[in-house]
Amino acid sequence: MQELALKYGCNPNQKPARIFTSQGELPITILNGNPGYINLLDAFNSWQLVRELKAACGLPAAASFKHVSPAGAAVGVPLDETLKQIYFVEGLELSPIATAYVRARGADRMSSYGDFAALSDECDEATARFLLREVSDGIIAPSYSPAALEILRQKRKGTYLVIQIDPDYQPQPLELKQVFGISFEQQRNDVLINADLLNACPRPTQNQEIPEDALRDLLIALITLKYTQSNSVCYAKGGQAIGIGAGQQSRIHCTRLAGNKADIWFLRQHPKVLNLPFKADIRRPDRDNTIDVYISEEWEDVLADGVWQHFFTSRPEPLSHEEKREWLKQLDGVALGSDAFFPFGDNIERAHKSGVTYIAQTGGSVRDDNVIETCDKYGIAMAFTGVRLFHH
């Protein structure tokens, strides 16, 4: 098959819409559902991400995509009991590939609502069962077990989009796109991000020690950024992205946005959050939204309005500013990647507040000295990759 008709383009009024190839066959098979334009943009970007993550880390990898940027990405590192609780998988039997997707979706569950899932390995029954209970638009994987496919075909009243991709497919070295009727052509971004790259990178900071688990997390951050709309910054820890700032015009805004998401990820592990007295019938998306408000500055308004009564069996005690600050002081060992150089030390100041200890960034700013000095102030180890990862 060289052409596939789509429901519509980016918006329902944009018809007709299709994907096609002028050489060879399309590398995908639609096993269920009817794809749209954005579905396939998410599918192809997320597949590249998880394929590269697995190659770089040697572990099953997964991503959760929304609007052509990842909400989360991870590899199959086992979950501790706290993460099982905040990801709502207590008592579930999880395979390595299921664990990778649970981590990817759990990084930012609000952003992952209605996501497109990508798996580096075969979708098994454990992954399909987890997906069945979550709000998701589709999935791409190299294969599906019979049991997994049967489960996924039940989702969204039988319309859930299931795509199988040929894992051996290699695109042409040149890529084309059109904007306003004008054709653009460029060499595909085939830069290889792996441990060899990071180990060969100059480390201009006083602290040059980056342990193996931090190297893995830096790889996760950089490969995630390779498929994130620029400007972008990614915080990673424990085998997963924990905060992604995408598509901002200012790099400090990327760093703040991603850092705020990383803070929320860690605050969700606070004992007060873990013990919130939710009513038994509250749906998981409503829990996610309520936890986000509980952690935010809006909670006092919710208390004043009495909205808490819709979700809780009793009035929760607020999480104070001081309690948040003290808890966030425990967050450390975080890896941070940037898709281009940091122009000012203010990015490092903000990253430090979210426990960043290791950084990989392009380097080459006229203010590199200021950035290095700020890293040295906090004992941060930083590597200059010399590689820019803009993605548009």
Q: What residues are labeled active site?
A: 66-67, 231, 392
Q: Rounded to 5 degrees, what are φ and ψ at 376?
A: -65, -30
List the one residue out of 235, 234, 238, 237 whose CA is nearest residue 246. Answer: 234
Q: What are residue 59's phi and psi, to 5 degrees?
A: -130, 150
Residue with tokens 């099953």: 60
CA distance 150 to 156: 13
CB 224 within 8 A of CB 73: yes
Looking at residue 119, its amino acid is: L
Neighbouring-strand partners of residue 172: none
Assess contact for 335 and 221: CB atoms under 8 A: yes
Distance, CA of 61 to CA of 335 (rounded, Å): 18
> Strand ranges (DSSP E) for the chain?
3-5, 18-20, 28-32, 61-66, 69-75, 115-119, 136-141, 161-165, 174-179, 182-187, 232-237, 240-246, 334-338, 356-361, 381-384
